Structure 1
C-alpha cells in the first residue's frame, strides 16, 4: 500500500475541523500555495504524453493524499494547462489560477455570441480570425474554484455548435450564485453555479475540439489519480488500528485494502506508460480511460467500505480529518457516473461502431 506523500508536492496540512466557508478558504489557500511552488519551479505537473505522465499522476495523487478539495482545484488548473497546450493556446501565466468548467447537465447553460473583432469586449486588438471577440452569457453549473480561480476554460453553445472558450472569471460579470453548493463532502472545492453576463471570451480550438482530442481522456485518468490519493489517505486509520492491536478481522480488511490499492496504483502507472508511448490515438485513449476510471472508482469505494467496516463509527465520529477525507472522497467518486459509465464502456467493447 503506497502512503508516502512527498513533501515537495503536498500542501501544508489543513484544519480538519473547518466548516464549509473555512474549508473553502483553506482549499483556496492550498491551491494558491501549490501553484506558487509551480511558478517558482519547485513543483511540476508534466503534461500528459510528455514522457513523464507517471510523475504527473504521482503529483496529483500526493496533493489528494493531503486534501481532496485542494486537489480538485489543482487538478482543474493543470488540466486547463494541458488543454491549452494541446489546442495550441498560450499557457496559464504566473499568478493565474485556472479551472475547467465543462459540465453540461440539464439546465440553462452558456451561450456564446460572436462580436466584430475590435469592438466586442473580447476583441480588443484582435484579428477577425484569431478566436477573440466573443461574449458569453448564461448559467454554468459545477464551477470548482468559483471564488478562487482567475480564469477558466468553459464550454458554451455557439449556435448549433459547442465550443471551448477561455475567460477571465474574477470580475463582476462572472458571479457565483449563492446557495448553489450545499455539499458537505467536497465543500471546500467551492463548486457552485456561476452566472455569466456578457463575459469577454476567446475561443480555444474549433467546434467540439474539447471532447474530440485524446487529452480529454488523459485528463480523466488524472482525476482517477486524485481519487486514489484520497483512498490511500482514508486507509491510514485502518493501518493504524491494525498496528495497535492484532485482530484477525482488522488484518483481513487491511489485506483487502492493500490488494485494492496495489492494483489501482499499478493500473495508473501502466496507463501513464501507455499514454507516453502513444499519446495521440483518441480511440485507445478513450478505452483506456474508461477502464481505468471504472476500476479505480470501484477500488476506492471498496476501500472506504473496508475501512468503515473494520474501524466502525469511531474514526468517523472522533477523527475530524478522517471524517472529512471519507466524506470528500465519497462525493468526489461520483464524478464517475457508475452504471452509466460502465454501460458506455460495455457498448464501446460490444459495438464500437455505435459509440463513435
Structure 2
C-alpha cells in the first residue's frame, strides 16, 4: 500500500506513524532542491488524512533537511529507523546552554515545547553558546543525561503529540552549521513554509468532511440550502487560491527567483505564506464549524479530532505579532509592490 494511504488507518498510533515518517525521510524530497512543491503537497496530504500525523512527519523531515543543509550526517541521521525532532523554542525561566569542553560540546539546561521527546531517537536543538547567541546541535535523546518530562497536556487537540520540557545534564552534542547559522540560513524560512503546507492540508481535510457531509445528506434526500452551498463555495475559493499561492512560492524557491530581486527576502515571503495560510485555515474552520453545527463535533470522532488538532496546530502562527514583524520588513522596503 502506498505510504500516504497508510496514514489514515494509523491515526493515533504514534510508533507506527514514526515508522512511516522515517520511511518517508528516505525518499521524499528536501526543500529547495528542485521538488519543493512535491514535498509540500506530500506534507499537506498527510495533514489532510490526519493532522497529528503531519506533526510527526514535518519535524522529522525538517531535521533531515537541516542536517543536509549544513552538510552534516550527525551519525544517527542515516541509521535505519532513526527518528528526529526539532526543538528550537524558548521559554521564560528556561535556558539550554552549550559549553565547549576538552572532549566536545556538552548541553546543560532545559528546553520547552519538545514534542514526543520520549519517543524520538534524536533531535536538532538550539542552545545558547559561550560566545553569546544561539547555535544548533544534533543530540541523542537516548543519552542518560536526557530527562523528558511527562507534560500535563490538557489540550483536546493533538492529544497524542504532547509537548513537554526536556532537561539536559552533561549531554554530548554535535554542532550543526556554526554560531547563528540555524536562524540565518534560507532553510529556516523554507521549514516555516512547510509547516504552513501542513496547516493548509488540515483545512483541506476539514473541507472534505463538509463536502462529504453535504453529499451524504443530498443522497438521503436532504438537499443543502443556499447558505451551506455558499459556505462550500467560499471554502473552495479560499483553498484553491491558497494552494496556488503555495505552488507558485515553491516554484520560485526552487528556481532561485524568490530572493533574486532587490528588496525581497525569503523570510518576508515565509511570513506572507504563513499569515495567508493561517487566515485561510481560520476561515475554513469557521465556515465549516458554523455550518455543520454541534452534531458532528459531538459524535463524529474523525471530524471532531481534525477540528481540534488543526485549531491548536495553526496557533503556531503568532497572528498579529507575525503581521507586525512582516510590516516592519515591508516598511524597510522588503516588498514587491
TM-score, normalised to structure 2's length?
0.90
For the structure 1 residues 233 and 150, does the alpha-carbon distance in structure 2 shift closer, same or farther, using more than 3 Å as the test? same
Q: Match for 1:181 among 135, 150, 153?
A: 153
* Structure 2 residue aligned with 1:30: 17
For 1:220-231, what aligned pairs fall within 5 Å after superposition?
Answer: 220-231=192-203
Shift of 1:334: 0.6
Shift of 1:168: 0.2
* Structure 1 residue aligned with 2:40: 57
Partner deviation per Cα, 1:36-78 (whole Å, 9 max, x = no partner) = 3544xxxx32111111111110111111111112211210011
* Structure 2 residue aligned with 1:259: 237
* Structure 2 residue aligned with 1:9: 4
Give, in whole Å, the separation in 1 of the partners of 2:47 and 2:134: 31
* Structure 1 residue aligned with 2:248: 270
Give, in whole Å, the separation in 1 of the partners of 2:137 and 2:251: 31
* Alignment gaps of 5+ in structure 2: none
TM-score, normalised to structure 1's length?
0.85
Partner deviation per Cα, 1:141-183 (whole Å, 9 max, x = no partner) = 1112212210000000112231111000123321221234332
> Does 2:75 correspond to 1:89?
no
Corresponding residue SS for 2:114: coil
Shift of 1:134: 0.7
Q: Is the 8 A contact 2:7 2:46 kept in 1?
A: no
* Structure 2 residue aligned with 1:218: 190
Q: Match for 2:273 among 261, 274, 292?
A: 292
> Does 2:234 correspond to 1:249?
no
Q: Over aligned residues, Cα RMSD in angstroms?
A: 2.0
Give, in whole Å, the separation in 1 of the partners of 2:314 and 2:107: 30
For the structure 1 residues 152 and 297, does the alpha-carbon distance in structure 2 shift closer, same or farther, using more than 3 Å as the test? same
* Structure 2 residue aligned with 1:126: none
Corresponding residue SS for 1:164: strand
Q: Match for 1:114 among 83, 90, 100?
A: 100
* Structure 2 residue aligned with 1:146: 117
Give, in whole Å, the separation in 1 of the partners of 2:258 and 2:171: 33
Tell which deviates more after alignment, 173-182 or 142-151: 173-182
Q: Is the 8 A contact 2:7 2:53 kept in 1?
A: no
Q: Is the 8 A contact 1:31 1:74 kept in 2?
A: yes
For 1:295-314, what aligned pairs fall within 5 Å after superposition?
Answer: 295-314=276-295
Shift of 1:280: 8.6
Give, in whole Å, the separation in 2 of the partners of 1:166 and 1:276: 27
Give, in whole Å, the separation in 1 of the partners of 2:198 and 2:232: 21
* Structure 2 residue aligned with 1:77: 60
Give, in whole Å, the separation in 1 of the partners of 2:152 and 2:332: 39
For the structure 1 residues 276 and 15, does the alpha-carbon distance in structure 2 shift closer, same or farther, using more than 3 Å as the test? closer
Tell which deviates more after alignment, 102-111 or 328-337: 102-111
Shift of 1:277: 1.1
Shift of 1:7: 4.3
Give, in whole Å, the separation in 1 of the partners of 2:237 and 2:258: 32
Shift of 1:106: 2.1
Tell which deviates more after alignment, 242-251 or 200-209: 242-251
Q: Is the 8 A contact 1:235 1:257 kept in 2?
A: yes
How many residues align structurally? 321
Shift of 1:324: 0.6
Corresponding residue SS for 1:88: coil
Partner deviation per Cα, 1:196-220 (whole Å, 9 max, x = no partner) = 1111101111111000001100111
> Does 2:308 correspond to 1:337?
no
Q: Is the 8 A contact 2:91 2:111 kept in 1?
A: no
